Amino acid sequence: MVWFVVFLISMVTILTIFFVLLKRRLRDKIESEAFLNKLLAGFGIVLDTEKLGISIWIDNDLTYINSILLEHSNLLGIDIKSRKELDELFAHPEKYLVIYDVITEIKKRREANVQEYYGSWRKEIGQKYIEIKYIRRFLDGKQYVVLTTRDVSHELSNLETTILAELNEIFEEEISKESISLYEFGDRIRTILNKHGLVDIFGVGLLRTNGEIYFPYFKYADEDDRSGLVMSPSEKTMSRYIIDKGLKLHIKSALKQQDLGDGYRLKKIRGEDFTIYGVPIIFRGQTRGVILFEKQGTEQFSNATLAVFDKVAHFIFLALRFIDILEELEDEKKKLLEVSIKDYLTGAYSRLFLEQFLEKELSKCKRTNSKTAVAFLDVNEFKRINDTYGHVYGDKILKTLVEVIYKNIRIMDLVARYGGDEFVIVLPETTPENAGLVMKRIVEALGEKNISISYGMIEISEFATIEDIYKEVDRRMYEMKKKSKQENSAED
């Protein structure tokens, strides 16, 4: 019986001690939470211990951290309780691309000695959409740093609407320009995706006609811009795989999935592990390139994010299609310009263009005291040639004439069809003596083709108008023609 009394007394004593300790712990917990709530209220934060990850540093010492924040930091592979690891984080933010902009922004504020600062970001980390807030303030002579995290994955659907609205605005701005810069367009897209924490790396590669893949835009970070990268046809990379197969490719771990089969392998550019999503650029029934979305870490893209990427790719398809249309229109404009300033038969410039060119040359000669020579020529006995051999043969003579002239003048010189078989050659920055040598060379070359011409030649700086030039050079051409006929008659 005595032992039972002793046992009972012992149990009562133990329970009393237990309840005292429990009461003290509850009181401490209540006081701790009251202090925490009071502190956070001063920062404008309402504490929800079930949803909000939180950590507090007072004068650089970690004084509080909860399990939710630890869980979120573990998604990044960061031990946030380690001072050494945090120092490494700020020393080398490029190693942590997922939160690169967060770290660089905080670091910039710290180095500028900004005492009070508030920053807010949203990042997709490990397929969770996490809101990150950073607050630094001085209270009662102490520096307080509060870091909070919150899972807002339920808002991803709203994010898609926001991103698409921003992309649509960019697209409308770009197509209103005379030309689209794929670099500027790509950079604006990456800025949006990076701001919302969906990508670290973004690239657009285009397939060239020689089989190369050219990346007009490919950026890892602001200071790691690899735009202009070219992959040769022999490189069987992931980009080549996507283009050759015409298939989307989702790689959850670049380190674990380097072999893509059929001889294709990932090209290892950085040592870290990445999640990659590649989309082929297909329009007009052909694969024309590849779009790459990449993020540091394993399995970083949720299904909702992949759906956003597909819609982003659609905007890029539209932009490339628009660029194609612009290029086609530009080609048509060039063709129409060629038709308007060139003779369709011979390829010589038109008389209208000739007169505009001569006006500028005459003005330049008077302004700079330079020399420009002009030769006026026609084909001897051209009417007889047409009557004897037909107009098709006559047209061939005229085309051959212009081809020979082009081979014997400089790029800066001009040959124009004045009318019928009459042509004008303009030789800027040329003295009459040098122009005579050019014409001698042309006459000899034409003689080898059995084409005979007569020409008149002058230097134009002393003339007042284009009409005066035409009259004088035409007169000299007929003098040569008359002299040639007289010489031929004397020989007969």
DSSP string over 112-150: TT-SSEEEEEEEEETTEEEEEEEEEEEETTEEEEEEEEE
- Using alpha carbons only, give the angle 313, 319, 323 rounded to the nearest 5 degrees: 140
Which pLDDT score, from 0 to 100, does residue 21 have? 46
Written as six digits, the tokens of 282 are 């297909």
pTM for the predicted model, two decimal places: 0.57
Report d(CA 279, CA 316) in Å as an integer.
11
Tokens standing for residue 220: 């890892």
Around Cβ 192, how many Cβ atoms within 10 Å? Answer: 18
Q: State residue 143's pLDDT score.
A: 86
**Is 287 strand, coil or helix?**
strand
| Residue 195: predicted pLDDT | 86
The answer to whether residues 192 and 173 touch, using CB atoms and an 8 Å cutoff, is no
Give the pLDDT score at 27.
45
463: tokens are 């003339």
Residue-wise pLDDT tens digits, 258-291: 888 889 988 776 667 889 999 999 877 789 999 9
User: Which residue ranges in the chain fall short of pLDDT 50?
Assistant: 4-8, 12, 14-23, 25-32, 43, 46-47, 49, 492
Cβ neighbours of residue 57 closer than 8 Å, sequence gap 6 or more? 63, 143, 144, 145, 146, 147
- Tell me what pLDDT residue 329 has: 65
Which tokens go with 12? Answer: 């009562």
What are the tens digits of pLDDT across the range 184-235? Answer: 989 999 999 988 888 988 999 999 999 999 999 999 877 789 999 999 999 9
| pLDDT score, position 310 | 92
